[in-house]
């Protein structure tokens, strides 16, 4: 029996005008899927979040996308993050 594939994980943090979503990936396939979903959301919502990609290993197959909004007065990040979570089929998001 093969190894169980790790699911994409998401962590959300929000305070005052700051909002952040971390999306952890465990394969090149997941990394590509996240990249596409982010591009689609940016185009649909016409927003420009700060996006950083950090890697856990030397071969760039494990890591996370960190999506941040600073000075989010109108809370536009909420719908944006909801779309990303839905499109990635993330069933549970940890809120910190």
Mean pLDDT over 83-95 rounds to 81
27: number of Cβ within 10 Å: 13
Q: Which CATH architecture has domain 17-91?
A: 2-Layer Sandwich (3.30)
Mean pLDDT over 35-63 rounds to 93
Per domain, the residue ranges of the chain are: 17-91
pLDDT score at 92: 63
pLDDT score at 37: 98
- In sequence order, the 6+-apart residues with CB closer than 8 A to the CB of 47 are 41, 69, 76, 77, 80
Which single residue is written with the structure tokens 């927003």?
Answer: 47
Look at 58 and 89; give whichever has higher pLDDT: 89
Handedness of CA 16, 23, 52, 83 (dihedral sign): negative
Alpha-helical runs (H) found in 1-96:
28-45, 77-87
């Amino acid at each position: 029996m093969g190894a169980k594939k790790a699911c994409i994980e998401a962590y959300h943090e929000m305070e005052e005008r700051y909002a952040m979503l971390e999306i952890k990936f465990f394969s090149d396939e997941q990394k590509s899927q996240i990249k596409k979903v982010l591009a689609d959301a940016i185009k649909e919502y016409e927003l420009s979040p700060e996006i950083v990609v950090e890697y856990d290993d030397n071969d760039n197959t494990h890591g996370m996308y960190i999506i941040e909004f600073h000075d989010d007065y109108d809370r536009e990040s909420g719908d944006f993050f909801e779309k990303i979570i839905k499109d990635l089929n993330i069933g549970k998001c940890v809120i910190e």
